[in-house]
Amino acid sequence: MGSADNCRACGYDWGEPPWGASGQEPSFWICPCCEVEAGYEDASPEGARRYREEWLAKGAPWCDPDEPHDGLSTEERLTRVPPGCE
């Protein structure tokens, strides 16, 4: 199960909450895994799910070549999507 530190679309672990400690203050960071922008495409659970479906339809690529891959499979990472955004 995911935590507030995980991307709402793909489950990537940011190491700190992309929506701030309160869960209400988006950072607008770009996820290196799926390229969702925290606070834009994932502003609602429905938006995060829609973005995830589009990313998966593209083959779920690791999007940022400058950020080291986290070593997880897509399936493993998706188990870390925060509750409510699954």
pTM of the predicted model as reported, rounded to 2 decimal places: 0.92
pLDDT in the model for residue 14: 93
CA angle 3, 75, 20 (to 5 degrees): 20
pLDDT in the model for residue 23: 86
Check whether 2 has a pLDDT greater than 80. Answer: no
Q: In angstroms, rounded to a whole number, what is the distance separating the alpha carbons of residues 79 and 33?
A: 15
Q: In angstroms, rounded to a whole number, what is the distance separating the alpha carbons of residues 29 and 14?
A: 10
Check whether 1 has a pLDDT greater than 80. Answer: no
End-to-end CA distance of the chain: 10
5-43 residue pLDDT tens: 999 999 999 999 999 988 899 999 999 999 999 999 999
Mean pLDDT of the 72-85 span = 95
pLDDT in the model for residue 80: 96
